Copies of this chain bind each other. A is one copy, B any other.
Amino acid sequence: MPGIFDLQNFLPFRLSRLAHEVSQRMASTYSEKFDIDIPQWRVLATLSAKEPCTAQSVVSSTRTHKSTISRAVSSLTETGWIERAPSDEDGRERLLRLTTEGRRKFNELVPVVLAFEHSLYAAMDQESMQNLASGISALENVLEVGTNSAKSKKVVL
């Protein structure tokens, strides 16, 4: 007699559904004002913190497929939000930087997405919010996602 399986309680399913819902809603908060998609957003956010930066670096810090990042970089370059410059150290690399315009737009975008994130937290009580953050961190560690400390550890050793 096989036990019953409860999809509604199954972690991978719940995570996937939740992430999808959150992404959808977040995209809708800025898609009208700013014509960018999620991969583009990830490139901008990464560059905003660490500039200049290679596409490969964006790939590893966001864990997004390199072809996706490549296309996001191309389109952002076309629209003038970022610049690609050859690297002196390594001829294969291209150093990415936000343009003045790109940084200006990004600075407009940030408050919008932060407001969205805040609206999620605000609707939860403090304790649930901290539970979520710490639970996610724990799972990130298990999967060696997140801070690339895990990967670094391997590489360094």
A110 and B10 CA atoms in complex are apart in Å by 11
Q: Which residues of B contact A147 (CB under 8 A)?
A: 8
Which listed segment binds B: A72-80, A89-97, A126-134? A126-134
Task: Verify B49–A6 contact, CB threshold 8 A.
Answer: yes
How many residues of A are in contact with the other chain, CB < 8 A?
60
List 20 other contacts, CB 8 Å, given A8-B146, A132-B132.
A2-B110, A4-B48, A5-B114, A10-B117, A11-B117, A11-B121, A12-B26, A14-B136, A14-B140, A14-B146, A16-B23, A18-B19, A18-B136, A18-B143, A19-B20, A25-B143, A131-B134, A131-B135, A132-B138, A132-B139
